[in-house]
Amino acid sequence: MTGRSEPPNGPPENPEGGEDEYRSLVFDESFIRSARMQEFSAQERMGEHARAVRALPEPAAPAGHGSRAAIVLVVLIALAFTTAVYVGFRTPYPQPVTRRAEPLRTTVVPLAPRGAVPAGSPERLYGAAPLSGFRTGAEGINFPSVRRTQNFSDSQITTALAIVKDYLVESSLNPDVLIGQVRRPVEQLLDPDQRGQFERSMSNPADDGLHAATGWLVRFDPAQVELADPRVRVQGTLSYAEDGAGTLEVVSDHTFTYALRPAEDPRKEDGASLFTVRRELNFRFDREDLRLHRLELRTAHVQAGPQSCSAGAAGTLRPLLAGERADDRGPAATDPYAPGRPAAALCGTLAPPAAATPSGAPPQAPHSLREFRPHP
């Protein structure tokens, strides 16, 4: 038989003109040169878990690229800082006013009666006009109608009035403060700048217009008197006005009437007498005071009686009790040639008292503050 036949050992693996099955795996020279893998040296492969190949370093960045990026970063930081400063200066919110509280200026005027101090029970004395219309305790300290000002809202004004009321209650109605046992409830309401003056007034009172303890609060000597009735009668007013763009001024004008009796004879029911204190106080607030619930007491004008003109009421008030009369001495003498701050030698005359009324008779008016004039 003639024709094509297969070789004895089969067809060749790569017949001539046939397709090499591994031709696709052969890399040309350009591919090899562009490869980014390089075999580690023998010394590098000696390390444990060393890779067989390593990556070639990245091509170097063009010259000047890093410096341009640094300049752009610095410019952006400068713009951000400038914007922050500008926004800080242009903030629409009001900035707090930084100021120091001024020292308190005080005037304490004793009021001397013209005759003997009337006696009676607290109920009968309080039932006489005009005290019959007074309220008891904190109920007599009422707020006015509140309307916002140019720079203070309704709530801020209400807060200021509430702080003033707290101060009046603690300094005029707190029984522990009245008998001189504590003073912290009053001090903690004051601006820190005034607390040093307050402490000096309590520890070393003086009638110099700056350090009268009775300018800050109402205080009696517990060795001499005590409260015959803790229910103090109160009447007065509160008012407010804006004092500049950053401060609010509040003025209180209240009359406090106390029923007192001698400390050594507390069992005598009809041995009480009345003692009246009129306090005209001027307060000032800024927004920081409102936030921290504190106040600045600027001026205090106090009239208190019945007392003798020579009582010297800078440290404690010294009431004349039932049946007592004022002495004949006038105000303390003031020497204009003496060095130092002059004493405030002032005294007033209390209106004539009403005679004690017998049981069952209509009550008559007790001592009144309506008449006040300098003592001769």
pTM: 0.69
- The per-residue pLDDT for 246 is 87
Mean pLDDT of 257-281: 88
Q: How far is CA 366 from the centre of its chain?
A: 40
Predicted confidence (pLDDT) per residue in 31-74, tens digit: 666 655 566 666 666 655 555 555 555 555 555 566 777 888 88
- The per-residue pLDDT for 368 is 45
- The per-residue pLDDT for 130 is 86
Q: Which of the residue ranges 89-98, 129-138, 229-238 has the most confident prediction, judged by mean pLDDT?
A: 229-238
Q: How far is CA 295 from the centre of its chain?
A: 7
Does residue 200 sit in helix, strand or coil?
helix
Rounded Cα gap, residues 281 and 73, in angstroms:
61
Identify the H or E element spanning 149: none
Predicted confidence (pLDDT) per residue in 228-253, tens digit: 999 999 999 999 999 887 899 999 99
Rounded Cα gap, residues 117 and 113, in angstroms:
7
Token pair 């103090």 is found at 232
Rounded Cα gap, residues 276 and 126, in angstroms:
12
Give the chain's mean pLDDT: 80
Give the number of residues written for the chain: 376
Mean pLDDT of 76-105: 72
Query: Which residues, other chains included, contact 287 with Cβ-Cβ below 8 Å and sequence gap of 6+?
Result: 94, 96, 97, 156, 246
